[in-house]
Chains A and B, each alone.
Chain A
């Protein structure tokens, strides 16, 4: 049997059968690999849209909620007992929102350092809440130990919770960017295999020419055409998708990231103002001066790449006013009286403080550009929808065409 097979393969019809098998198998293999690669790309973008995007937003929300709670918890000690409950309520809402965001992050977390960070933050929440509530309770009694509790809570929030939340956000942004770039970049494996298949088809055609003196085989030409079409059909949408992904990354990294950082620094500055009264320590004024300068710098950086600048310009304007208002506060020999300082650093009874306005405009700008970034990611995903099926069908067609082209030549030897 084996001898017969070897004898058959030595004959021309046997060799042609082998060529037919090789061309159709290589086309089918390319179809299978292309299908898998494109499906993986689609999954990556789905993951970017549905999981990593949400995780990134959740990490940002965790930071913002705790930074806001930190600043407001200190303000609540400085205002009278009629206004204090309103600020205390805001802090409790902040912690509630932070826990919600942590829950959302935990649900979409794929493990690793993100899971550890989420767990560390969650572990610290009961202590943070206990310190803040104890501080307020002592403050209601007029006990100075209130300042120690709130300072301790602030130290916990700034030294541990916010650091982990910032790192979580940073890591998620990096992962998201990497996922988007990986999902929309050209697949060099598919190109390499594609050219190999084209090479096999070309070689098959030459082999056929040598044996049958027929210059062109229609089936092999159609198969080559379909393979070329499959490669083009894949690469052009990937190229367009990559453009959308780049838009998304640019919006996120050049506009959203500096604005989000400016907003975080804004919350820190808001807290630093209150700390000047509650627990003054060396470096507070310099920290506040630096915070205000950093906010202005970050907003200016975002403005360079932003196209819709309405909210960004408003935030820059509010930051300017805030810096001007705090000029007297950060001078070494400030002549402000205590009530004047309290009025400057706590939210007004009516309307909004400049710190709140900065936060509000930055939030609006962040929201606009986050939505734009998410839209670009969705468009990038839309451009590669169904590509896997089209690619697989084209390559299946190429395999059939190659077989169909070679079949009559093989049949000639059996007449």
Chain B
């Protein structure tokens, strides 16, 4: 009997071996708005025909010397008078060092685009602006709705249709490395100033032994760009030939985060934006991709505010003529980059100034 009990106990002991815990892995958390494959902006049918492209040509802009058709100067325009009385609101990005970056503690903004905005404001108010001058308000635009902040008929209709968009602040202009494209002119009823920056695309990767300096070398690897930008369109178009896997996030700064976390292998966007990202991470390598992507960036203004378009064009023309635009570019994309121990990129020439009137 005792033997039987012992045998039963031994059997029970063997049966009660602790179960091996199931193997589990922590799923990486991805940003809100992350898309795989990446999300491009929708291209309106009007931008696919030669007539439509000519009508909504982003390079069509107004001559600063042009009047309002009633014999008065551009400087007497209603929008300009309103701004001089109540102040200038400019929509900016705060996460693109060298172009436009905010110190989160002091709130001060700096960068190439901020220099341009300061010059426009100085000319508008006829005096240099003080630090935190209440007449110049730099508004950080809600992601994905920058151009919606302009007071245009199309934007107003969209805002009225969607209550959530009611809180998008209304600004006089948007200066946020906005690549000049037909769909933006068509969708938002904007007029661009003459370009203040010409860019091409670049590639930011983690530094290492393996060469990753072109999209072809990133076959089957995830490459990140900001959603609804020309960069994600480029990536999606090149997917068939290069074999990359395009993914997108609402902001290019989030692409850097994903690169640092090892969740993507490269960031593809305008070279100056990538220079700003590289400054934040010395463990990355930046490759210039001449002839690929990019475009020209201009100040986006409502088509209703023609006097403001003319005024801004006048300021940009003056900055181009007196060399201050070039000097500012050199200060940020030359001196600052060199001071960080990095190689400055190529300086691409601005296209010749052309107006429609």
Contact = CB atoms under 8 A, between A and B. Distances in A.
Contacts of B281: 145
B72 interface: no
A339 B107 contact: yes
Interface residues of B, number: 46
Interface in A99-142: 123-124, 126-127, 131, 134, 138-139, 141-142
Contact of A335 (B26, B94, B137): B137
Contacts of B103: 142
Nearest to A138: B280
B253 A152 contact: no
A332 B167 contact: yes
Nearest to B93: A144
Contacts of B95: 144-145, 147-148
A285 interface: yes
Contacts, number: 118
Interface stretch (A72-80, A87-95, A309-317): A72-80
Name the prevailing secondary structure of the A interface residues.
helix
A283 B169 CA distance: 12
B132 A337 contact: yes
Contacts of B137: 335
Given A147-B253, A148-B256, A338 B107 contact: yes
B143 A281 contact: yes
Contacts of B96: 144
B336 to A, nearest CB: 13
Interface string A332-363: 11110111011000000000000000000000
B31 A155 contact: yes
Chain A CB within 10 Å, residue with most, of B103, B164, B254: B254
A152 B254 contact: yes
A79 B140 CA distance: 18
A107 to B, nearest CB: 18
A144 B104 CA distance: 8
Interface string B287-310: 000000000000000000000000
A149 interface: yes
Given A282-B144, A337-B132, A144 B280 contact: yes
Given A144-B97, A147-B95, A284-B142, A337 B107 contact: yes
B101 A144 contact: yes
Interface in B150-206: 163-170
B141 interface: yes
A393 to B, nearest CB: 39
Contacts of A131: 29
Interface in B84-111: 94-97, 101-108
A280 B143 contact: yes
Interface string B21-63: 0001010110110000000000000000000000000000000
Contact of B254 (A148, A277, A283): A148
A178 interface: no
Nearest to A141: B280
B129 to A, nearest CB: 13
Nearest to A331: B167
A76 to B, nearest CB: 10
A300 to B, nearest CB: 25
Given A127-B26, A155-B31, A160-B29, A280 B140 contact: yes
Interface string B232-268: 0000000000000000001101101100100000000
A167 interface: no
B168 A282 contact: yes
A268 interface: no
A149 B281 CA distance: 14
Chain A CB within 10 Å, residue with most, of B29, B96, B142, B280: B29
Given A148-B251, A152-B29, A337-B132, A281 B142 contact: yes
B253 A144 contact: yes
Nearest to A142: B103
Interface string A147-179: 111011001100110000000000000000000
Nearest to B28: A127
A155 to B, nearest CB: 5
Nearest to B94: A144
Contacts of B132: 337-339
A155 B144 CA distance: 17
B31 A152 contact: yes
Given A145-B280, A281-B143, A284-B142, A332 B166 contact: yes
B256 A333 contact: no
Contacts of A279: 143
B167 A139 contact: no
B349 to A, nearest CB: 28
Given A145-B253, A283-B164, A335-B137, A78 B105 contact: yes
A146 B104 contact: yes
A278 interface: yes
Interface of B: 24, 26, 28-29, 31-32, 94-97, 101-108, 132, 134, 137, 140-145, 163-170, 250-251, 253-254, 256-257, 260, 277, 279-281
Interface of A: 77-81, 123-124, 126-127, 131, 134, 138-139, 141-149, 151-152, 155-156, 159-160, 277-286, 332-335, 337-339, 341-342
24 contacts: A77-B104, A80-B105, A124-B26, A124-B29, A126-B26, A127-B28, A138-B280, A139-B104, A144-B280, A145-B253, A145-B256, A145-B277, A145-B280, A145-B281, A147-B104, A147-B253, A149-B257, A155-B32, A159-B32, A277-B140, A281-B144, A281-B250, A285-B167, A339-B106
Q: Enumerate the 3 nearest inter-chain pairs by beta-carbon distance, A residue then B residue, closest first.
A: A338-B107, A144-B95, A143-B280
Given A134-B260, A281-B143, A337-B132, 12 more contacts: A127-B29, A142-B103, A143-B279, A144-B280, A145-B95, A279-B143, A282-B168, A284-B167, A286-B164, A286-B166, A332-B168, A339-B106
